[in-house]
Amino acid sequence: MKRILSIIACLGFVACASQNDGLVDRMTHDPNSTNTETILHVWSWNFPTIAENMKQIADAGFTMLQTSPVNACFSPEGGNIKILDEKEGNWYHYYQPTDWTVGNNIVGTEEEMKAMLDSAKKYDIRVLVDVLPNHTAFNIDLVTDEFYEAVGGREKMFHSKGLQGIGDYNDRTECTLQGVGGLPDVNTENPLFQKYYMQFVNKLIEMGVRGFRYDTAKHIGVHSDPLDTEAGVTENDFWDVATGRKEVLGVSLCIPYDSLFVYGEVLQDRNVPEEEYAGYFGQTASSYGHVLREVLWKRSAKDHDLLSWYHRAAPEYLTTWVESHDTYCNANESAGLTDAQIRTGWVFLTARQNGTPLFYSRPMNSTRENYFGDNLLGARGNDEFFHPEVVAVNKFRQAMAGQLEDIRISEDGEVIIVNRGDKGAAVINFALEANPVELPTALPDGEYKDEVYGTAFTVEAGVLKGTAQPETTYIIR
């Protein structure tokens, strides 16, 4: 009986006894803060595959994993088999919700998800789910009758201009009330929609999910954004409900919000109210990722500022990446970067004091000529997530809790040292040739060997010296 009551409470049929209002100052940087967690984006892996690889994920030093969307989604005839194929499916089909129920034919069933979550708990991995309440499938006739009924009918599902595509992404009226990429824009302010969506969220939490990535978060309005009065909206309160500040029709977030890891895909551009979004969740450091990729393309940080985070929010609340599934798949902005280049960027990013870095798992057997490799939805990604350099820096990050960063860059920008107090240092050589290392460090004088290759380095009079091989990184403690 106790178990049954727990489930009922979490699904929102009774009010939660303890809630956190989510009021956190995410704008003021604490210079002494250090982030230790890392996220593996198990992009397009299905639940059984994730479960089978959970031990390896944990052994690789990742503390969180992020799944692809788990909701019911567009499923064309022929199924969702391929990552990118005209007939046999596409990765973006699960970004087209048809209902807020658990399970689809890409990631697996509710039962398979529960087994995966049990495995994650065993290995102390926190699971984040990619959620996308902002829109439905392109074809609104494919949305389930149950979903329409739950929100009060088809006419209540969308904003008044929700079936029109956005023309100007810097116009906040269009950005929040019209369709991103042509996807029908949901009336997220409809209390019936909010209730139905929160029941889905609470079910995931009851199953063991402990965080969320909100897709297209900047397309869901905050209080300063225009109201869709034609649809009867009087307050842009979706984020207040989603983060547990208020209940809706007797349903509220079923655990304290501060026990979850939540970040929003708020891609940076003009007129984005980053400060208001920071009142609700962490945000993506998309501009920083762009600068880092420019450095990787040039194989040099010269004339680039890698110290700034290019964001108004405090860096300890930013989710960072070298690349994301969007930069890889949409315009292939990052897909041409080699695995070695991605590794050098990952080691630099992860060795830093702040941000929570996300490692995108590229498809198995992908190459720079064939971005989708085996081209199979559900399959494990390539071996890069457990490359020794990736593992070493993930564990270095955890070990450096409390140690402040000091970044030193060679004159030509090809070699960087990320010093963490006097306890450790990460050395990165972006170049295609070997480079001498001779940069300041707070490590005590002495002889060192890095943790991956056993390469010798020395510290004398506060200067770290050695030789870094092409496109190689080193962890020294």
Q: Domains in the chain, please, with CATH?
A: 2-403 (3.20.20.80), 404-477 (2.60.40.1180)
**Cα 369-105-54 angle, rounded to 5 deg:** 70
> pLDDT tens digit string along 208-238?
999 999 999 999 999 999 999 999 999 999 9
> pLDDT tens digit string along 365-411?
999 999 999 999 999 999 999 999 999 999 999 999 999 999 999 99
SS3 at position 45 = strand
Q: What are phi and psi of 197, to 5 degrees?
A: -65, -45
Question: Are the C-beta atoms of residues 200 and 232 closer than 8 Å to each other?
Answer: no
- Mean pLDDT across the chain: 94
End-to-end Cα, the chain, rounded Å: 52
Q: Which of 174, 185, 215, 389 is catalytic?
A: 215
> 331: which residues sit within 8 A by CB, 6+ positions away?
none
Q: In this structure, is the dihedral angle defined by the CA atoms of residues 228, 234, 235 and 237, taken in order, positive or negative?
A: negative
Question: DSSP string covering 6-37, please?
Answer: HHHHHTTSS--S---------SS--TT-----
Give 211's strand partners: 261
Quote the CA–CA distance of 43 and 326 in Å, as a whole number.
Answer: 11
Q: How much is the pLDDT for 11?
A: 41
Distance of CA 45 to CAs 81, 152, 158, 272, Å? 12, 35, 31, 32
Which residues of the chain, if any, have pLDDT below 70?
Answer: 1-22, 78
Give 282's strand partners: 263
Quote the CA–CA distance of 175 and 238 in Å, as a whole number.
Answer: 15
| Residue 374 bears catalytic tag | no
Q: How much is the pLDDT for 22?
A: 52
Phi-psi region of 249 (alpha: psi -120 to 50; beta: other; left: phi over 0): left
Question: Are the C-beta atoms of residues 260 and 210 closer than 8 Å to each other?
Answer: yes
Name the nearest CA neighbour of 303 among 420, 215, 212, 409.
Answer: 409
Q: Which helix (H) or strand (E) holds 343?
A: helix 339-351
Q: Look up residue 226 and give its DSSP letter.
A: P
| Residue 265 bears catalytic tag | yes
The residue behind tokens 């009758």 is: 145
Name the nearest CA neighbour of 435 among 301, 304, 338, 313.
Answer: 301
Question: Are the C-beta atoms of residues 318 and 274 closer than 8 Å to each other?
Answer: no
> 361: which residues sit within 8 A by CB, 6+ positions away?
40, 41, 42, 43, 45, 380, 381, 382, 384, 385
Quote the CA–CA distance of 53 and 128 in Å, as a whole number.
Answer: 16
Q: Which of 130, 174, 240, 265 is catalytic?
A: 265
Question: Are the C-beta atoms of residues 92 and 69 closer than 8 Å to each other?
Answer: no
Quote the CA–CA distance of 321 and 334 in Å, as a whole number.
Answer: 11
Q: How much is the pLDDT for 20?
A: 45
> Which tokens sit at 158?
């969308």
